[in-house]
Amino acid sequence: MTIRTIVAKWRSYEPELRSVLRIMAGFMFMLSGTTKLFAFPSAGHHGGTVELFSQMGLAGVLETFGGFLLMIGLFTRPVAFLVAGEMAVAYFQAHLPRSFWPTVNGGVTAALYCFIWLYFSAAGAGPWSIDARLRRRG
């Protein structure tokens, strides 16, 4: 097997690896929301839950339910676009005022999620998703 065939074989796994990235990122994003709303799996940096009818409460709802929808790959493009926007707001509102540098201002996670979800809003969910299953049936 040559390097060229190995590279070609690896590239052929792109759709499945896109699904794996979506599933794992959606799961971790959902955990961020459940931490805010339910103090699960930990109490988070607030020491408990956030007020539901607050900006952090809205973030918790978007992260919990948006993360779940992204994890299962349902309505991936619009949900990803919505939560990419949420993460952009989070970054510019909460992190950027502290410092220009994401590693200094604590905004690495928000910035990465913003661009990951922006990518999925354009690329779609991949083959291991409810979106793909619905397309095959319809």
Per-residue pLDDT tens digits for 8-20: 999 999 999 999 9
Q: What digits encode the pLDDT tens for the residues 63-97?
A: 999 999 999 999 999 999 999 999 999 999 999 99
In this prediction, residue 30 carries a pLDDT of 98
pLDDT of 43 higher than 90 = no
Q: Indicate the Cα dihedral angle 8, 10, 13, 18, nearest 10°.
A: -120
What's the pLDDT band for 1 if we cut at 50, 70, 90?
confident
Arithmetic mean of pLDDT over the chain: 96
Q: What are phi and psi of 128, to 5 degrees?
A: -95, 75
Secondary structure (H, E, C), 46-65: CCCCCCCCCHHHHHHHHHHH
Whole-prediction pTM: 0.93
- Would you say 102 and 108 are in contact if contact means Cβ atoms under 8 Å apart? yes
pLDDT of 42 higher than 90 = no
Q: Calculate mean pLDDT across residues 29-56.
A: 90
What's the pLDDT band for 124 if we cut at 50, 70, 90?
very high
Distances (CA, A) of 67 to 39, 96, 103, 112: 16, 24, 24, 15
CA angle 123, 137, 119 (to 5 degrees): 10
What's the pLDDT band for 46 if we cut at 50, 70, 90?
low
In this prediction, residue 2 carries a pLDDT of 95
